[in-house]
Amino acid sequence: MRRDVDFLVIGSGIAGLSFALEAGETGTVCVVTKDRLPEGSSQYAQGGVATVWSPDDSFASHAADTERAGAGLCVPEIVDLVVREGPKRVREMIARGTRFSLRPDAEDAYDVDLGLEGGHSRRRILHALDATGREMMRTLVEAVVAHPQITVLERHIAVDLIASAKFDLPGPERCCGAYLLDVDSERIEVCAAPATLLATGGAGKVYLYTSNPDVASGDGVAMAFRAGVPIANMEFIQFHPTCLFHPKARSFLVSETVRGEGGILVRPDGSRFMADYDSRAELAPRDVVARAIDQEMKAHGFDNVYLDVTHCDASFLEERFPTILERCRSFGIDPVREPIPVVPAAHYTCGGVRTDSEGRTSLPGLYAAGEVAMTGLHGANRLASNSLLEALVFGRRAADHAVAHHAGVARPPERIPPWNPGRARTSDEAVLITQKWDEIRRLMWNYVGIVRSDRRLGRARQRMDVILEEIERDYWDFIPTADLIELRNLATVADLIIASASHRRESRGLHFNVDCPSPDEAWRRDSVLVRDAQSRRPVPA
Ligand SMILES: Cc1cc2nc3c(=O)[nH]c(=O)nc-3n(C[C@H](O)[C@H](O)[C@H](O)COP(=O)(O)OP(=O)(O)OC[C@H]3O[C@@H](n4cnc5c(N)ncnc54)[C@H](O)[C@@H]3O)c2cc1C
């Protein structure tokens, strides 16, 4: 089966839906999403969206804070355009119906309460209590569902991009759409479009512990890589220091404010350790705390450490952290009486598909926006709450460019071949997938996690050689299922992270290697990888 639209959007988070609403004003749009519509990291964003809003703030100040966090790798022109366009995009969200938390004496929906977060020198975080992403997604989903030009395909997973050269299609090299697997019917169909947006979010699932939802398996990065598009800065993975550690608590973050309000980190025997690592102890920056916890866990073989607030006033805790208390209690942990078990968790993928200022990738007709993209905004470390902003700004910029250059022109060729299943058969051995899935996530956590070393990276590389070979064989032997597709993508992303981390001979921002622990001016550049035609593995561009 073949479906033709003007714009194909892969992913239904804030980046994908922002693009869809803009492009839908000009042409037909198909939004493909592998789960249900709101599922994705956008839905779980808590803190808020950063933008210059108050009269005592300035674009220069937001840009300076972003660049300070980015440790020398931000692209100043990109930072400048994102901070300048931010307020416009956020105003549009309010005009569409997003209700941010307001000041007590607010006169209208624009008179918002501005929060302050680590790394920001001014109050500039718009938030909707502690569930900002859910409120923004509510607005976007309502608008998309009501839009006559937008079709949403839920439970459809993009398998591969249709790059014209790879499939011997006539005309110059370009992206002509994607192959999609309908998860329920298990059929693979063609969606042809002159312009395609990758908005597939991050890749947190590549690590054993992550704050990301299950859909964050790095599919967009892997698909773009297979299509020959350069992938940049994959070594810069941001880890959140404190994720609740409980077998049933998937991805629940214990806010950093808990430490700010007096929470202390302790080993299983109750002894404090943060002062051994930094004079600011628990109030040290996020990366320092994550690294210290990782060191304690790896050195002593702990499964987790604990965040202790039992010495704090119980009524204060009830009032200040109702959601955290409620969630912990639902798992039988009462933070008022006992320490909370925590581990650091992969939180944000700074690297991704390299784009220009219009969200264009190197493959004509293919755009990328949101966490899947590497625009140059974050550099070596993301400033808190800048990612929702980036998704809004680049979702719109990519749509503007696609509308101007692709709508109604250069339709994809008539003859796009249907998906070729080759000699594949149905697999009845789910264990083949789950075993490798666990292996990759544990390997990445242990060898390519918060603290890296040449030895650990070398070991990771050796293991991945074997795993990738096995996956490539299984992938072509068996008819692709959603699990197999995600596994293959996860392995590709793991390989890219290992290659980027091994390539960079310094420590900078989020990348820390004990064998080259300092920044080195000679390495103040992006790590850009492309697919080697022979080995199909990543090599420096
Ligand atoms: C717990 C948590 C809290 C956060 N808090 C904040 C915050 O306060 N402020 C902030 O700025 N950022 C925050 N972030 C980061 C931010 O939420 C994300 O970076 C941002 O929402 C990414 O948006 P996106 O549109 O790029 O991707 P997502 O919202 O992740 O959406 C990706 C979409 O792609 C779909 N998809 C993926 N692969 C495929 C495929 N192969 N085929 C079809 N569909 C596919 C998914 O199903 C999903 O719909 C937080 C993240 C997490 C996890």
CA of 48 to the centre of ligand 1 (A): 13
Least reliable range by pLDDT among 60-74, 288-302, 404-418, 463-477 = 404-418
**What radius of gyration, in Å, describes the C-alpha atoms of the chain?**
23
* Angstrom distances, CA of residue 483 to CA of 267, 436, 445: 37, 11, 20
CA of 296 to the centre of ligand 1 (A): 30
Report the pLDDT value the prediction gives residue 513, as an integer from 0 to 100: 96
**DSSP-derived secondary structure letter, 276:** G
Please report the atom of ligand 1 found closest to the CA of residue 489.
Answer: 41
Please report the atom of ligand 1 found closest to the CA of residue 201.
Answer: 27
The three-class DSSP label of residue 455 is: helix
CA of 369 to the centre of ligand 1 (A): 11
Between 70 and 474, where is the model more confident?
70
Report the pLDDT value the prediction gives residue 148, as an integer from 0 to 100: 98
Q: Which of 238, 388, 397, 485 most suits a substitution to test ligand 1, by most atoms within 8 Å of the C-beta?
A: 388
Report the pLDDT value the prediction gives residue 408, as an integer from 0 to 100: 57
Q: Which amino acid appears at position 194 of this protein?
A: P
- 99 noted as active-site residue: no
Mean pLDDT of 363-388: 96
CA of 121 to the centre of ligand 1 (A): 26
Report the pLDDT value the prediction gives residue 407, as an integer from 0 to 100: 64
Contact 20, 150 (CB under 8 A): yes
Across-strand partners of 196?
8, 366
Q: CA 389 to CA 86: how far, in whole Å?
A: 6
Residue 405 has pLDDT above 60, yes or no: yes
Q: CA 327 to CA 59: how far, in whole Å?
A: 38
Pairing relation of β-strands 29-32 and 150-153?
Answer: parallel
Does the CB atom of residue 98 touch ligand 1 within 6 A? no
Please write the tens of the pLDDT for every residue from 301-340: 999 999 999 999 999 899 888 888 999 999 999 999 999 9
**442 — pLDDT class (breaks 50, 70, 90):** very high
Please write the tens of the pLDDT for every residue from 235-286: 999 999 999 999 887 778 888 778 888 899 999 999 999 999 999 898 888 8
Mean pLDDT of the residues in the chain:
94
Q: Phi and psi at residue 198, in whole multiples of 5°?
A: -90, 120
Please write the tens of the pLDDT for every residue from 511-521: 999 999 999 99
Percent of the chain with pLDDT over 90: 80
Contact 491, 471 (CB under 8 A): yes
Mean pLDDT of 456-472: 95
Q: Nearest CA to 12 among 154, 121, 115?
A: 154
Contact 222, 493 (CB under 8 A): yes
Contact 207, 19 (CB under 8 A): no
Active-site residue, from 286, 382, 396, 508? 286
Q: How many C-beta atoms lie closer than 10 Å to residue 514's C-beta? A: 12
HEC sequence for 282-326:
HHCCHHHHHHHHHHHHHHHCCCCEEEECCCCCHHHHHHHCHHHHH
Does the CB atom of residue 32 touch ligand 1 within 6 A? yes
Q: Atom 50, ligand 1: which residue's CA is nearest?
A: 45
Mean pLDDT of 111-117: 90
Residue 412 has pLDDT above 90, yes or no: no
Mean pLDDT of 287-291: 89
Strands (E), 56-133: 114-115, 125-126
Mean pLDDT of 110-128: 90
Mean pLDDT of 415-435: 79
Least reliable range by pLDDT among 24-28, 189-193, 339-343, 433-437 = 433-437
114 CB-near residues (< 8 Å, 6+ apart): 53, 54, 123, 124, 125, 126
